[in-house]
Amino acid sequence: MADRYLSFTGTAPGRFLTRRLGLPRPAELIRWTPERPALPGPLLHLTAGTSALDLGPVLRRTGLAPGDRDPAAVVLDATGVRDVAALAEVHAALHPVVRSVLPSGRILVLGAPLDPADHHQSAAQQALEGFTRSLGKEIGRGRTVNLVRLTDAGAAESTLRFLLSPRSAYVSGQVIEVGGAAVTPPDDWDRPLAGRTALVTGAARGIGEAVAGTLARDGARVVVLDVPAAEADARRVAARLGGTALALDITAADAGARIAAALPDGLDVLVHNAGITRDRRLANMPADRWRSVLEVNLGSVLRTTDTLLARGVLGEGGRIVATASIAGLAGNAGQTNYGASKAGVAGLVRSLAPRALAEHGVTVNAVAPGFIETRMTAAIPLLLREAGRRMNSLAQGGLPADVAETTAWLAHPASGPVNGQVVRVCGQSLLGA
């Protein structure tokens, strides 16, 4: 369903009324298209403190030319900030330029991991988190602000490319940690998944279909998995993408074994997208509504992941991307079952990620969507729908493509140093941290 308020605020009367009445004023976001693969403007590189990072080569490969006037993106290297006094340099660097960042632009702060042996450094670096999230909530005009903690610029190249591009239009207020694992760049950054196989559950429609399409665009051979009742839609999507369809009930006890049998040559990317809602307040929720949501959204994810890892279907360089939700991080009235299942996904990611990497060479991450414009959200009553759209720093709902682009970044072969992360795709929702 079209966001008519967003369209109205783009007109002269809309701008006048929203300004006079103090209403949200969302800006139309710049998203990736083949014709517009990069942000339309220069990149400004600033430093606070003394940094040891060599960012120049990576930043030159983002597709943004350097410049200091009306930047489309600002990168502030604050990895050398080690005490409260150095935080003044963060203010000094960004204060003069923050107003000049173009609409739908990016501010990316680079921080260092917290040093457990130095509480002054840890305090200063943790301060960057509160700073970036606060700036994201005030900057407006479709601009986003994120913090990346890193020790090696090369290990963060896929992350920097993503966050400094139109692909990250609905990702703001996030803190992403990038490890120091070795990275093998893809032969072609435009088709990084060429020669790889990706399976997406719940891919016959909605967000899952968008994820499958984006992974196929990036070169993957996609397996479109959905329930038997959606087999016709799954086959339609698979045919359009040049992939294959797999009809099965992901909650079946043998689902993992059947997936393994369907993939004799193995699997490189597993995207757990299938999910359902059965909303009702706990006092009115029968046990079957509780059970069905937990089984689809969490139980099936645990069982199939365990089976595919144990059988070696996912091996060295593999990627698992699960779907959490803002409801699991912040809670939502009437969704105790759904919130529990999605919080469980976040717990799975944080626990499994280090072991899966050490034992199988596989990374495990999650996306956590906020309000995304789908057929499901279009059925929400008008006032609740409008509240969902406006209660974020970008004052609008996201699109399935926003979740798909974030998933594709986590699935990228150069994203190996990104592990154990739960990345919200929510326009910096005002709910939760």
191 CB-side CA count, 13 A: 9
The whole-number pLDDT of residue 78 equals: 98
- Domain map of the chain by residue range? 31-177, 197-425
Mean pLDDT for all residues in the chain: 95
pLDDT digit string, tens, across residues 4-15: 888 888 888 888
Averaged pLDDT, 277-300 = 96
Same topology, domains 31-177 and 197-425? Answer is: yes
Tell me how many degrees the CA angle 255-259-262 measures, rounded to the nearest 5. Answer: 140
Looking at 121-135, 158-172, 369-383, 409-423, which range is the least confident one? 369-383
Question: pLDDT above 70 covers what percent of the chain?
Answer: 99
3-state helix/strand/coil string of 314-355: EEEEEEEEEECCHHHHHCCCCCHHHHHHHHHHHHHHHHHHHH
pLDDT digit string, tens, across residues 315-333: 999 999 999 999 999 998 9
| CA 180 vs CA 286, 316, 357, 368: distances in Å | 47, 17, 13, 24
pLDDT digit string, tens, across residues 243-255: 999 999 999 999 9
CB 185 within 8 A of CB 414: yes
pLDDT higher than 90, residue 16: no
The whole-number pLDDT of residue 133 equals: 97
Name the 3-class secondary structure at 68. coil
Question: pLDDT above 90 covers what percent of the chain?
Answer: 87
pLDDT higher than 60, residue 412: yes
Nearby residues of 130 by Cβ (< 8 Å), 6 or more positions away? none
Looking at 6-20, 352-366, 374-388, which range is the least confident one? 374-388
pLDDT higher than 60, residue 433: no
pLDDT higher than 60, residue 238: yes
CB 407 within 8 A of CB 211: yes
Backbone angles phi, psi at 272, to 5 degrees: -85, 95
Strand partners, 272: 322
pLDDT band for position 1 (cuts 50, 70, 90): low
pLDDT higher than 90, residue 181: no
Which stretches of 12-128 are assigned E, i.e. beta strand?
Answer: 43-49, 73-80, 106-111
CATH of domain 197-425: 3.40.50.720
Produce one character per residue of 267-306: b if its CB has 16 or more CB atoms within 10 Å, e if not.
Answer: bbbbbbbbbebbeeeeeebeeebbebbbbbbbbbbebbbe
pLDDT digit string, tens, across residues 199-235: 999 999 999 999 999 999 999 999 999 999 999 999 9
pLDDT higher than 70, residue 55: yes
* DSSP state, residue 263: -
pLDDT digit string, tens, across residues 101-152: 999 999 999 999 999 999 999 999 999 999 999 999 999 999 999 999 999 9
Q: Both tokens of residue 13?
A: 């009367």
Q: Both tokens of residue 192?
A: 């990084």
Alpha-helix residue ranges (DSSP H) falling in 191-335: 206-217, 231-241, 255-262, 287-294, 300-310, 326-330
Radius of gyration of the chain (CA): 21
CB 289 within 8 A of CB 240: no
Of all helices (H) and strands (E), which one includes residue 405? helix 400-411
Determine the topology of domain 31-177 in CATH.
Answer: Rossmann fold (3.40.50)
Other C-beta atoms closer than 10 Å to the C-beta of 10 total 13
Averaged pLDDT, 39-44 = 97
| CA 138 vs CA 68, 135, 305, 313, 395: distances in Å | 22, 5, 40, 46, 12
Averaged pLDDT, 403-412 = 98
pLDDT higher than 90, residue 385: no
Which positions are annotated as active-site residues?
338
